[in-house]
Structure 1
Amino acid sequence: MDMAKRLFYFYIHGSIHVAIAVLSLVLMTYHMFNLPFDAPMAGFAFFGTLFGYNFIKYEARFRKKLPLRRFHKAVAAISITALILGAVCFFLLNREAQLASLAFAALSVLYAVPFGSRGNLRSLAGIKIYIVALCWAGVTTLMPLLNAGIDLGQDAWLKFCQRFLLTIILILIFEIIDLAEDNPSLKTVPQKIGIKNTRLLNIMLLAVFYYLEFLKTYVDSNQLGVNVALVLAVGLFTMGASPERNKYYTLFWVESVPIFWLGLVYLVGGF
């Protein structure tokens, strides 16, 4: 049992779970645009997310030379491996996808590493949520399409907007859970408008997310049904979110939403 707990802790805090969530969104893009599986792009998204999230979470500990537990050494090992494999995948992408990835990588570095007395982008009031959403939407929507040579037309940008909104919605649930611990200087949405209004905002954003599906060139009835289930699930997570919740409410369950979404798509597609 102790071994299972340690493995689960490493799975969550070593960013493997969030990397699978990002990979799930990439696979959703392949499904939505009828594209074949692209191993270099999928690998880049998975390994890049794993390294990027661990870099953001733990770089300060290594930079400041704080004491390292066995967990941190294991995270360093898996992160270096992910960096190497992600680099291999990067060089297998086309030029357009590579340029896009460099832009998102630069945002990630600016987000994590302090520059001068102003700190990093993460410390700027109210901006964190948009940077994370931009990176998630870009890596999981625009990059797979660019690497497949697909023109970024109306449907592509609609999916980008949907993915951007979904990420914002999930982050707002995180911000509700973290309300008691977040520094007031961050000026998160729940800090500014309260928990009740943040929940209401999330429900409104979910309605917009669902409506965007009707603006596509071709409206897939199966996808509409799957999105109903997604909206209901995320709505329940939103209404159940509170600062009293265990951290794994978001770290595992909320971050499982993309995996759940992909699973529903494959399940419905099998009938």
Structure 2
Amino acid sequence: MPEKEHSGIRRQQPLASWLRAGIEAFLYSSVFISLCAFGLTVETYLLTGNEVSLPMAGFVFLATLFTYNTSSLQRTWRGWGTSIAGQSWSIRHQRELTMLALLSLAGAVVLFFMYQLRINLWFVLTLALISIGYTVPLGSNRIKPFRSVPLLKVFLIALVWSAVTVLFPLIDAAVQLGSQVILIWLRRFLFILALALLFDIRDYTYDRRTRTLTFPGLLGEHYTRYLSLGLLLLYLLLVLLTEQGAILISLMSAALVAGLIVWNASEEKPRIYYALLADGAMLVHFAFVYLAVS
């Protein structure tokens, strides 16, 4: 009997290891956050009553996957990093992430030209440079990445995400960029900005060590959470003024979920809290809207 129990335990351990490895790959390869970008892009079509363009949503997914893995591409290009136990997941899987970045870039280019997406190529390249320059220095090594500029990184994240997930699909759908579009963009900007502040809280010690001024460094962790909640309240105010019915309820519910995640955020929380919940609030946002219009 004991031997059977031990054999059962041995069978369960590899299964648990495979499951954990799969979850880590899903989260830390940026596939999950790219799905969040995909979801928010589809949500924009749903909010405006336009037909969903899967090629555009796929383009956003692949472009996000590429930009979030450019740091691995840079390390491989410069010959940095080796697979050593104890290093971060991204360092240990640097080669795989580099290949993923290249494949996602190729896929995004194919979708852009094959389906003749109607977004200005220079607009795309400008946002791509901002996204890449966020973590990778553009030009010489003496030029710091944008994330090192005091208090700037959260605004860059919100700007790029709101532009890509709102303006890209609506420009491609030939929607006139009037007041309705501006309000949807502003709502999305505020929602993403509120979530981006959580990553400043997560990285507080690292940013302090690198002498990068962020909102937790300026206001403290406690007041940064209040700032994030204040942004969500502004978001809710805009939603109340611009939506009604099931859409209104869905967006208010999404803001409530995000508020709970913000309220419980702290530097001591494990990284998976931010990778799964803080990023996942965007996917919840999409899911609620999808259910509201279905």
TM-score when scaled to structure 1?
0.92
Q: Partner letter of residue 213 of structure 1?
A: V
2:153 corresponds to 1:131: no
* Aligned residue among 45, 67, 85 for 1:30: 45
Q: What are the residue-to-residue correspondences of 1:185-264 with 2, within 5 Å?
A: 185-216=211-242, 219-264=243-288
Asked whether the 8 Å contact 2:247–2:293 carries over to 1, the reply is no
| 1:73 counterpart SS class | helix
| 2:220 counterpart SS class | helix
Describe the superposition over 1:108-150 as per-residue Cα deviations: whole angstroms up to 9, x where unpaired: 2332332332322122111111111111000000010000111
Asked whether the 8 Å contact 2:163–2:185 carries over to 1, the reply is yes
* Aligned residue among 106, 112, 127 for 1:104: 127
Aligned to 2:75: 61
Shifted more, 230-239 versus 151-160: the winner is: 230-239
2:201 corresponds to 1:176: yes
Asked whether the 8 Å contact 1:10–1:71 carries over to 2, the reply is no
Aligned-pair CA distance for 1:170: 0.6
* Aligned residue among 108, 112, 133 for 1:86: 108
Q: Which has the larger radius of gyration?
A: 2
Aligned-pair CA distance for 1:104: 0.7
| 1:27 counterpart SS class | helix
2:186 corresponds to 1:164: no
Change (3 A) 1:247 1:72: same
Shifted more, 99-108 versus 165-174: the winner is: 99-108
Aligned-pair CA distance for 1:94: 3.8
Change (3 A) 1:98 1:39: farther
- C-alpha distance in 2, partners of 1:42/1:97? 16
Between the aligned residues of both structures, percent identity stands at: 27
Aligned-pair CA distance for 1:97: 4.0
Aligned-pair CA distance for 1:88: 0.8
Shifted more, 89-98 versus 16-25: the winner is: 89-98
Aligned-pair CA distance for 1:64: 3.0
| 2:102 counterpart SS class | helix
Aligned to 2:94: 72
Runs of 5+ consecutive residues of structure 1 not aligned to the other structure: none
- C-alpha distance in 2, partners of 1:144/1:74? 30
Runs of 5+ consecutive residues of structure 2 not aligned to the other structure: 1-15, 84-91
Shifted more, 98-107 versus 65-74: the winner is: 65-74
- C-alpha distance in 2, partners of 1:124/1:144? 30
Q: What are the residue-to-residue correspondences of 1:103-122 with 2, within 5 Å?
A: 103-114=126-137, 115-116=139-140, 117-122=142-147
- Computed over aligned residues only, the root mean square deviation of the Cα atoms, in angstroms, reads 1.7
- C-alpha distance in 2, partners of 1:207/1:24? 23
Asked whether the 8 Å contact 1:29–1:144 carries over to 2, the reply is yes
Describe the superposition over 1:176-218 as per-residue Cα deviations: whole angstroms up to 9, x where unpaired: 12222323522111110011211111111111101112443xx
TM-score when scaled to structure 2?
0.85
Aligned to 2:4: none
Matched pairs, number = 267
Describe the superposition over 1:62-102 as per-residue Cα deviations: whole angstroms up to 9, x where unpaired: 23312443622221222221111100112234443433212
Asked whether the 8 Å contact 2:117–2:172 carries over to 1, the reply is yes
| 2:93 counterpart SS class | helix
Shifted more, 160-169 versus 178-187: the winner is: 178-187
Aligned to 2:7: none
Asked whether the 8 Å contact 2:39–2:283 carries over to 1, the reply is yes
